[in-house]
Amino acid sequence: MTFAPFVIVTSTTEIIRGVSRVRVNEAYTNALAAAGLIPVILPPVHAALAVASIADIAGLVLTGGEDVDPALFGQSPHPTTGAPHAARDGYELALARAAAEQRIPTLAICRGAQVVNVALGGTLFQDIPSQQPSNIDHAPDDKRAERVHAIAIERDSVLAEIVGATSIRTNSSHHQSVDRVGRDLRVTARSEDGIVEALESTDANWWMLAVQWHPEELTATPENWDRRLFAAYADAVRAAGRD
């Protein structure tokens, strides 16, 4: 049987022109398709159905979006924390835990990185400007595709191997970040002010890369770091060889 590299891409719901719709930025699906993967957008469904969906899928991509409900990591909301999306939180946490248990190759982006951390028992800073103040703006306006700050990457990490460097520049569009790190995860990149910018699994059998920036918005830049990131994920999906 020919292997078809279907990957689940998580999504949100939003009222657009008066109707509630399932939505995901096209940049994600374009970047995955350019790497040879077949993106399958999964709406926020019941957690049990979400877990069932990955039984026959080759990979999981957790996308960016809303703030995670702080109740899910034992905190009350900071004044700047957005209204939770309960259905999305529920299905993405279930997917992240199932992917860890079943060792399904997982790429987690922005909110996705935060979801993986919370799913595995970690916590978040809900508001970087007040809780981790620095002179780096992690959420500058109108710069989605601009490399606005540097990150330092751990030498012996999957991320360093992928990009072939221990220092790169990334975009930044997040006002939250990882605080206490979840089970079986390690921090493999930070910005100069110490904010966690990448997490990896310490389980050698689970390929999981979580990045706080938005590589899908940077695939057309002269630097090839982000194209290599999607190519490496596609290689991991094919290597897992599920069909």
Q: Which residues are catalytic?
A: 110, 214, 216
**Among the residue ranges 83-91, 119-127, 130-138, 217-225, the one whose residues contact Mn ion (CB under 5 A):** 130-138
Task: Quote the least distance from Cβ 52 to Mn ion, whole Å.
Answer: 34
H helices within 65-139, ranges in order?
86-102, 111-119, 128-131
Distances (CA, A) of 229 to 27, 38, 146, 214: 14, 16, 17, 11
Number of shown-chain residues binding Mn ion (CB under 5 A)? 2
Q: For residues 211 and 236, which CB has a smaller minimum distance to Mn ion in the complex?
A: 211
Among 172, 176, 201, 219, which residue interacts with Mn ion (rule: CB under 5 A)?
172
Return the ∠ at Cα 224 (arms to 220 and 226), rounded to 5°. 75
Number of H helices, E strands in the chain: 7, 13
Residues 96, 118: Cα–Cα separation, whole Å: 9
Range 83-102, binding Mn ion (CB under 5 A) = none
CA distance 173 to 52: 32
Segment interacting with Mn ion, rule: CB under 5 A, options 13-21, 63-71, 78-86, 136-144: 136-144
SS3 assignment, position 70: helix
Measured from the CB atom, the residue of 138 and 147 that comes closer to Mn ion is: 138
**CB of 94 or CB of 229, closer to Mn ion:** 229
Give the H/E segment covering residue 196.
strand 196-201
Nearer to Mn ion, 98 or 110 (CB): 110
String marking each residue 41-80 x if it binds Mn ion according to CB under 5 A: ----------------------------------------
138 binds Mn ion (CB under 5 A): yes
- Residues in contact with Mn ion by CB under 5 A are 138, 172
